[in-house]
A = this chain, B = another copy of it.
Amino acid sequence: MDDDWFRSPEDTSESYGKYISAIYRHMQILIAAELAPFRIGSGQYIFLMTIAGKERITQKALSEELLIDKTTTTKAIAKLEAEGYVRREPDPVDNRYNLLYLTEAGRAVVPKVQEALDQIRHKSRNGISDEEYVFMLGMLKKVLRNVNEQVRNGEQQS
């Protein structure tokens, strides 16, 4: 990454997409480094944290919630299960489906993962005021709503 990334003037025709992609890739690298001691990969932490917020979720619902395909979801859950952080149990209502839970170890690791994520975020907010941060969040939510609508429209057409 050279200085071109930062030197370009801010104009309305410039793409925010390249910044989103670049921030995303940087965050994945930082998260991978921070979570390596817990044997949690940059592709798995998001599943762990979502299950922590919504226990008894099915793998299908998790996949839909995060908009991550089934294969990737299955692999990530298998990894988290192998590391002893997540367990699957048949749904008592319909045993064709499995519900996802955190294990004891999973519950114990969640605050540590949260702390690591908070630290990365804190450093990345350097030079950005609270007001600016809230404004940026609002913009990102608008963009997400718009792209989410585009994806839904695409799904209806196909």
Contacts and interface: CB of A to CB of B under 8 A. Distances in A.
Given A67-B29, A117-B17, A128 B142 contact: yes
Interface in A66-86: 66-68
A19 B142 CA distance: 10
Interface in A112-158: 117, 120-121, 123-128, 130, 132-148, 150-151, 154, 158
Contact of A10 (B16, B120, B137, B143): B137
Interface in A12-38: 12, 14-27, 29-30, 33
B30 A121 contact: no
Nearest to A140: B19
Sorting the interface of chain A by its residue count into under 10, 10 to 19, 20 to 34 or 35 or more gives: 35 or more
Contacts of A20: 20, 23-24, 27, 140
Given A21-B24, A133-B12, A134-B11, A1 B148 contact: yes
Given A26-B144, A135-B139, 17 more contacts: A5-B141, A5-B148, A15-B121, A16-B121, A17-B27, A17-B117, A17-B120, A19-B143, A25-B67, A25-B68, A30-B147, A30-B154, A120-B147, A125-B143, A125-B146, A128-B139, A128-B143
